[in-house]
């Protein structure tokens, strides 16, 4: 392979097209819905329920809480 062919090959590699990732609307909608549900459920839950859930989660992951 001579120097001229090597230069042409290098030029072809540099001019390769870039792949584009296309995302749909469904993942964005699902994330937004999950966020709204999480915020609304936490907002309307009783304080004792939230405390007990956090307390049980700490015990489940062996994190000392008291």
Indicate the domain borders of the chain: 23-66
Q: What is the pLDDT of residue 10?
A: 53
pLDDT tens sequence across 16-47:
677 777 778 899 999 999 999 999 888 888 88
CA–CA distance, 8 with 3 (Å, rounded to integer): 9
Where are any strands of DSSP class E within 1-66?
none
Cβ–Cβ under 8 Å, residues 35 and 41: no
- What is the distance of C-alpha 56 from the center of its chain? 26
Q: What is the pLDDT of residue 54?
A: 84
* Helical spans, DSSP H, in 1-66: 3-14, 25-44, 47-60
């Amino acid at each position: 392979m001579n120097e001229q062919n090597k230069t042409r090959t290098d030029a072809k590699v540099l001019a390769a097209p870039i792949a584009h990732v296309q995302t749909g609307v469904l993942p964005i909608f699902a994330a937004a819905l999950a966020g709204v549900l999480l915020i609304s459920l936490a907002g309307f839950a009783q304080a004792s329920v939230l405390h007990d859930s956090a307390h049980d989660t700490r015990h489940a992951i062996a994190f000392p809480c008291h």
